[in-house]
Amino acid sequence: MMSCDLEQRKIVDEAEAFVNQEIRPYVKCFEENKGIPRELIDKMAAKGYLAAALPKQYGGLELDPVYYGLFTEVFGKACTATRSLITVHTSLVGETLVRFGTEEQKNKWLPRLARGEAIGAFGLSEPDIGSDAKNIKTSWHEEDDCYVINGTKRWITFGHLADLFIIIAANKGRSTAFLVERAFPGFETKQIEGMMAARATCIAELYLNNVRVPKENVLGKINLGFEYIVSTSLDCGRYSIAWAGVAIAQEALEAMVSYSRTRTQFNEKLRSFQLIRGMIGDAVTKTHAARALALKAGELRKQKDPDAVMETTMAKYFASKVAVDVANDALQVHGGNGFLSEYPVERLYREAKVLEVIEGSSQMQQEMISSFGLQRYYKRR
């Protein structure tokens, strides 16, 4: 066990060095160019970083949930776009395939995903359907040799880049998950412009016009797409987003502290002012608390504890709120400089807010957590 931990710790440490050399200096360029360079994706794949949580038999690094969380934090601190690629490609698509794919599907796709030969994306949200995911409008019907899908998906992270999509479509109110390839006739994508955040993540609309999908491309079981595929995929995604929140909060905290120790106002360093120190104290506490929740969720996931799903939900909810709070305070400490792109806090401020929306809005998380609390903590007097 100790040697396994050391091996995984080494992977995380090497990933941090990789991020500092290959990613951190170029984050502004990624935003300006509206995407991650293919060369960088290939480098990440060569290191195994596109399959960090996947089994070694498919080319993955097989990090356990705790170390995968720490790995996610390393990328999320420096660059939301590369962290988003890991969240979608590895957590939403890769881990879902490991869990529900047939042997043929796993052997065909997981090595290709690990090598970066195919990029994965998850197609659930639609122009009129976000949190109300059970009522998707994208439809499927059966023909003799295939299933035919029609509909539009929206807000699909890396949708304009991906080669393989898990598409959720409905028939008579019951949903099914399909593996849809970009090359299938009738499938098109269009990148969404004008984003406040996530500018380098190739967010797209997907258009499916009589897309014929082979019957062997059903993922899981017919009519059980939401109950199994969607719920599992979102759980994997929420765990990654919990660590994304920790990452942004930690990066914003470090920026806030560093700036307060160097910036002078009224002949005093900002760190000397009580109100600034109060903001730093709150940021330290909140960030540590968010990390503790994420670590607990990771430990429970590692143990396959039934409570892991709810602990993950709480970690995602809290860490995303903390990211917003700490990024907001970090920008406040920077004053006018906080609005300049030469400082990281303006980007962190924008990216933090996204976390309260994706993989289930904060309001949806509150509803789930309250339902859990109302059952778990009811005591008859």
Residues annotated as part of the active site: 359
Q: What is the rounded distance in angstroms from the CA atom of residue 285 to the CA atom of residue 141?
A: 52
Q: What is the rounded distance in angstroms from the CA atom of residue 233 to the CA atom of residue 166?
A: 10
CB-based contacts of 181, cutoff 8 Å, min separation 6:
163, 164, 165, 187
Kindly report the length of the chain: 381
CB-based contacts of 375, cutoff 8 Å, min separation 6:
none
CB-based contacts of 73, cutoff 8 Å, min separation 6:
243, 244, 246, 247, 250
Block residue for tokens 């690094």: 61
In DSSP notation, 79-107 reads: -HHHHHHIIIIIIIIIIHHHHH--HHHHH
Cβ 59 vs Cβ 114: under 8 Å: yes
Q: Which of 232, 263, 251, 281 is nearest to 94 (CA)?
A: 232
User: How remote is the C-alpha of 360 from its chain's centroid?
Assistant: 11
Q: What tokens were used for 313?
A: 């939900």
